[in-house]
Each structure stands twice: as structure tokens, then as C-alpha cells.
Amino acid sequence: MKDKLMLMIPGPTPVPESVLSALGRHPMGHRSADFSKIMAQVLTDLKWLHQTTNDVLVLTASGTGTMEASIVNFLSPGDRVLVCCNGKFAERWADMCDAFGLAAERISAPWGKALDPEAVRAALEADTTKQIKAVIITHSETSTGVINDLESISRHIKAHGTALSVVDAVTSLGAASVPIDEWELDVVASASQKGYMMPPGLGFVSVSAKAWDAYKVAKLPKFYLDLGKYRAEAIQNTTPFTPAINLVFGLQVALEMMKQEGLEAIFARHHRHKIATRAAIRALGLSLYAQDDAVASPAITAVVTAPVEAEKLRSYLRQRFDIALAGGQDELEGKIVRIGHLGFVCDRDILTAISALEAVLPELGHTAFTPGAGVSAACKVLTAS
Amino acid sequence: MKDKLMLMIPGPTPVPESVLSALGRHPMGHRSADFSKIMAQVLTDLKWLHQTTNDVLVLTASGTGTMEASIVNFLSPGDRVLVCCNGKFAERWADMCDAFGLAAERISAPWGKALDPEAVRAALEADTTKQIKAVIITHSETSTGVINDLESISRHIKAHGTALSVVDAVTSLGAASVPIDEWELDVVASASQKGYMMPPGLGFVSVSAKAWDAYKVAKLPKFYLDLGKYRAEAIQNTTPFTPAINLVFGLQVALEMMKQEGLEAIFARHHRHKIATRAAIRALGLSLYAQDDAVASPAITAVVTAPVEAEKLRSYLRQRFDIALAGGQDELEGKIVRIGHLGFVCDRDILTAISALEAVLPELGHTAFTPGAGVSAACKVLTAS
């Protein structure tokens, strides 16, 4: 049905009406006092969301742009970096390191499993001559629905002493707690179309004092993504290059909504949606790709749809109920569907998605569950919390 | 007065209501058939606007991002490039070349004057060993209101044989004709918040077959701005990384409006606004920064405000009539104001801006003009055409 699309993919995520209205305002000059006032508010609120006193800078770019900014500003050609790999987006980090001539060493875990912080510790402890300049960790792996133990990994990086932590928080920021100051995270990248309740187009990078020290000696070339330029302008509540002004209007409203809800409530909501979804999927007789509840992302649930064909399920849900789920990527193509439950998602949305799943699964040949079991399992979680 | 801002700066420019409405639509998945349908239309219409059969790629970035893409995709460290310099944005190109380790040689003209195509020809003819890999030209210089003779310069580049033309068309595309195929331009960069009647956040790069040949051997590192990735995805009407979906919605509507108006009518409108504004400024007893009508940009008119202080004039117009003009940049700070008349600007807007100028100039001490002379001069142009 036209205009009835329900997005339950891990980005873009649904956007509140008040944010959409703000997007449609007439632009103003980005060098005006009025715009600086908005930027001042946005920059303050971003620090609140990032739980940090570090700089949080706003780029006009998608998540990959912020990933690149997290590399080119702090590293030099040939630098040795550890890339923690257990999914497609971690692989993208490794590819990017290769593209910039870094010596990227992969520490891998199977897709669907969490990284072993001990493996990171071992690699860092073996580096007695301090050659490792950075450790790149994807916090919530969007391709598999796994969340890695960032707190422990960051502790091992701190013990190493010189390596920077470079964190992909693209699908965790705004969905899971990323306490930058408490965990002493150096560089944290995220993007607007995930936990921010915003459309895509803006990216964010948080930078610690230690990372700024690395910036001073980093030799990779940069200009548009040169964070030093963004820092210099952020002090005056502006940006070095024309920002996506209308997206900033929307961001201001979205951050205000997030403040109203409060960080603890936001994280509790995402956690509740994760466990409700997982309980429902199990009750429907399907498998979870990330089997261990403890390492499941609060932002995305990946579902192994066998015996039903994943793409058939996805297209049928889209066609019959106007619900968009994401498919599997790379080696997971055709094997899983991914339910995004991050950002502007409420309890009702979880019930809706599960009940639609219940409706279509038998039609696609999967009947090995008690009718009503999925919704009932989700209800139990949602009403208990 | 709240919500009464009238933008007459050279970006961001005014945005039509239908485009604003499109910006505020609910996002859809960027990997969906529905979005690919929109992208297909946008990519087709962009080729129409660029007057080319070359690839025109869409980036989520501001103009500076497209400038960077125009360098890193086609050049290697140490490459010799000519940068045609007669304003702030040309200087930015030169700075960017320096940041990427290119051997940038500047060919300069005084600010406010056009580049001499003969100087470019001489430099290229002297390069008998074909060391010059690219010539960078800012078509319409936003900082001074000068338009350079791109057609002649491109002809000299073609005569050189191997150098690529890299064109900054940020404030010319959509305001002046940039016939890419006819003039055989290799790389042409532009941005949404100028002649496109759109807010900032999207950038565009047109790439010729010859430039794609250079891409194959270019060694500057790149990832987010790697145009080869964009080309591979554009074939399937999508993008390698999440695009600013809502801005693409707006762009589709803006391009449709431009098609309705037609290229010739759009360029005639901008030309009319240029000559009306220039006639009015002269009639008001003020000087034009770019004195030669033949090299004045159809997008921006820079006005030397002496004896009135430029910043005083600007802030008074903003405060008294809610009209935003741009100030001077770098060496021109405090000396000029820049009237942007590009994108969604109609004849009425020109009359409005000129009559507001007439109203405030005497209050700021400038009375050396016949009351009504500015509006009358503008009227004469606008009603004659």
C-alpha cells in the first residue's frame, strides 16, 4: 500500500514526524548566528549522547566517510593496525586499511560469534616494541547482529599503552551504551540513520586527547575529512565546509527527543526489543544467527529462516504487509533476514513485526510452531519489563 | 521577523516548497527497488543537466568532498598539475593539491579579473614532455563573482593532449551552461546547494572516458570517495555507501522542476538577473568588484560597498528586511557584499533585493544616487527581456 512502508532494517531507520518536519524547513546560511546557535546545541547534545567531554565532530558523509576519517586523521602509511573481524563491516574496515596502505592484521572470530577479547590481549601483549598504532573494533556488527565486548577490548588497548582504539559504533550509538569517557575510547565513529532517529547523510566522530596527539604526526593525506579543520570550526559552532543544513535541523530535534527520553530509558527500550524479538523467533521455531543472548546486539536480530527461503520471506513480508526487513550480506545472502529494531522503534512495532512473521511463515511452508506462540513470547517480555 | 529569511547568498540558496516537502518524506531502504527507481530518474536527469553522456555520480558530501574526489581518483603523488587561481575557491583547490602531495603550479589572475586562457595555453605548450597531468579551473569563482572562459581553456587542454580538465562548476552548474560533451570536459564537480535549488549535502562529479583511463593508474589512496565504486553501483541505480536518501528525494523533485523550465530558460533567467543586478548597482552609485560585464558570473554579483561599510550594510539588511547577503572572504572581508542570484530565484527577488538596498543605503550615509534609480535600472532590464 502506498506510503505504508514500515522500516525494520538496520538503517535507514524510522524517523519521527517532528524530525521530518524540521528537515523540510527553509535552509539558512551556515555562516549565520542563527545556524551557529543550532550547531552549539547539537554539539552539546552529541557529547551527552556520546557520554564524553571529548570533541564530537559532525561530518556531511555516510558511515563509511566517518570510518575513513577515523583512519586518515590518526595514522601514517605502513602503520600496523589490528582489525577485529567478525562480519562484513569489520571486513570493510580491513579493506579500507589496505586501500590506505596500512599494515592491517586481522584478528578474526566466526561470523555470528563475538570476538575473543583475550585474542586481542595476546596480540597486544606480544607487541613489546609498540608497533601497533591502532585497534579497530566494530562494536555492533550490523551484518550479523553480534555486539562485541568493547569494554574488555578497550581495557587491553589501554594496557598496551600506545595503540589507539578506533571504534565503529555505527549501529550501537543510540541503541547501546557507549560510555566513551568511562571506557576511555579514543576514536568513535557513527552515522545519523541508525540510533539517531534520523535519515542518512550526517556522520559523527568522537576524538580523545590521545587521538589528537596522534593526529599531529599522522601522515595519511586528507582534506575534506581532516578532523583538525572540523575541530577548529566546532569551537566557533560551525563547520569548515558547508554542512547538510537541513539534516542538522532534523538532528537538533532528534537529539532533543532523545534527551526527553533519557539515556537509560533508550538503552532499556533497545534491550527489551532485543529480548522480545529473540524470544519470539525461538517460539516460532526459527534459529537465531547469533545464538548467544549475551553477545546479541540490541540493534539488530539476525534470523536463520531455514526451512523458509530468506529472500522469499523478505519479499512476501514487504508485499503482503509493507514491512521491510534486511537480507543477509555476502556469505549470508539468502540465508538470513535481519530485523532492525534501533532508533525510533516502539514496543508496538515489535508486536507488529512478529505477528506479520507469524502470518506469513505458514504460507511459506513453515508450520512447526504453535499459532500465536511468537506474539505470546514477545508479549511476555514486553509486559514484564 | 521569524521565518521571513530571504536567502540571497551564493549557497545555500532558496529551496522550492515542493522540494522541501519531498525532504520531509519517510525514508525508504536504499537497497530497495523503489529507491533504485528514484535513483534511475535522478541519474538520467543529472546527465541532462550536465549536457553529457558521461557518468555523473552522486556523493553524500559537500562541494569540497566532490573537489577531493576530482583529485584523488585521477592523480598520483607527485603529479604536476596547473591550478588556475583567481579567487578563494581556486586557492582551496591549490591547498588541496598540496595536501595530497601533488606538484601544484599556480597560474594566477588578480581577484576580480578573469583568467587569461593564453597564459594557460602558454604553460601547456611549454610542457613538451607532457608532465602536466591535470588543469584545475574554477568556472564561476564564488568569492569574486567572476566566470572564467572555460570553453577556451578546455580547448587548450585538448590541444595539450594528455592533461585532464578538472572543473569546479560548483556555482556554475544550473546557472550557466556547462556543455560537458561539447567542450570535452573531463571531470566536473558541483554541489546541491547552488544551482540545483536544493539544500546542501549532495555532491556530483561528471567523469569522461579519458578520466576513467587516468583512474586506472591513479595512485592516490581513496575509499569513501572512490568513484570507481560509485560507477559500479550507478549501473544498478544505487550507491556503494548509504546515500542521503531524503536529499535524493528532494533532488528528484528539483530536477523535475528544472526540466519543466528547460535549460535555455534557466540560463536566460540567470543572465537576466545578472545584468539587472549590475545595472542597478551602477545606478546606485556603487562599484562592481568584477568590472567587466563579459566575465561577470550569472550566479553572484560582488559589490564594493564603499563608502558604506560592507558588514554594516549586510547586518542592517538582515535586521531590517530579513535579507541575507554574503560578505567578502579572506582579503575581501569587510570590503564587498555578494548577492547570490542562483537557483530558485525569480525576477521579483531581484527587485526586492535592489529596493531594500535603496532603502538602507541612505541610512548608512550613501546618498549619491537618484532615489529610485536602482529599481528603475533593474526594471528596465527585467521588462525588456
CATH class, domain A17-260, is alpha beta
pLDDT tens for A53-92 read 999 999 999 999 999 999 999 999 999 999 999 999 999 9
Chain A hits for B221, CB-CB cut-off 8 Å, are 99-101, 220-221
* Cβ neighbours, 10 Å, residue B359: 15
Residue type, B320: R
Residue type, B332: L
Instruction: State the 10-residue block means of pLDDT for chain B, 385 residues long.
Output: 95 97 97 97 98 98 98 98 96 97 97 98 98 98 97 98 98 97 98 97 98 98 98 98 98 98 98 98 98 97 97 97 97 97 98 98 97 98 89
pLDDT of residue B179: 98
User: Which SS3 state, helix, strand or coil, does residue A111 take?
Assistant: coil
Nearest residue to A179 (alpha-carbon basis) of A220, A151, A199, A209: A151
CB contact (8 A) between residue A241 and residue B60:
no
Mutation pick from A3, A20, A35, A60 vs chain B, by most beta carbons of B within 10 Å, is A60
Q: For the purposes of burial, counting CB atoms within 10 Å of the CB of A293, is it exposed (0-12), middle (13-18) or buried (19 or more)?
A: exposed
User: CA of B220 to nearest chain A CA: how many angstroms apart?
Assistant: 9
ipTM: 0.97
Instruction: Work out the percent of chain A whose per-residue pLDDT is above 70.
Output: 100
Chain A hits for B201, CB-CB cut-off 8 Å, are 60, 201, 243-247
Checking B265-271 for CB contacts under 8 A at 24+ apart, the result is: B266/B174, B266/B175, B267/B175, B267/B176, B267/B177, B267/B298, B268/B385, B269/B345, B269/B346, B269/B347, B270/B175, B270/B176, B270/B195, B270/B298, B270/B299, B270/B341, B270/B342, B271/B298
Reported pTM? 0.98
State the average pLDDT over residues A109-115: 97
CB contact (8 A) between residue B24 and residue A26:
no
Please tell me the distance from the alpha carbon of residue B245 to that of residue B251, in angstroms, as a whole number: 10
pLDDT tens for A92-106 read 999 999 999 999 999
CB contact (8 A) between residue A29 and residue B326:
yes
The three cell numbers of residue A73 are 586523521
Given this chain, do its domains B17-260 and B262-384 carry the same CATH topology? no
pLDDT surpassing 80 at residue A385: no
pLDDT surpassing 80 at residue A230: yes
User: CA of B74 to nearest chain A CA: how many angstroms apart?
Assistant: 15
Mutation pick from B67, B222, B241, B300 vs chain A, by most beta carbons of A within 10 Å, is B241
Is residue B154 within 8 A of residue B183, CB to CB? The reply is: yes
User: CA of B26 to nearest chain A CA: how many angstroms apart?
Assistant: 7
CB contact (8 A) between residue B15 and residue A27:
yes
pLDDT tens for A245-254 read 999 999 999 9
pLDDT of residue B40: 98
Q: Which fold has domain B262-384?
A: Aspartate Aminotransferase, domain 1 (3.90.1150)
Task: Pick A23's closest partner by Cβ from B7, B24, B61.
Answer: B24
- The residue extents of the domains of chain A are 17-260, 262-384
pLDDT tens for A113-157 read 999 999 999 999 999 999 999 999 999 999 999 999 999 999 999
Alpha helices in chain B (DSSP H): 17-23, 33-50, 63-72, 88-99, 117-126, 150-160, 180-183, 209-217, 227-234, 245-261, 263-283, 310-321, 347-360, 373-384
Task: Pick A201's closest partner by Cβ from B24, B240, B244.
Answer: B244
User: Which SS3 state, helix, strand or coil, does residue B166 take?
Assistant: strand
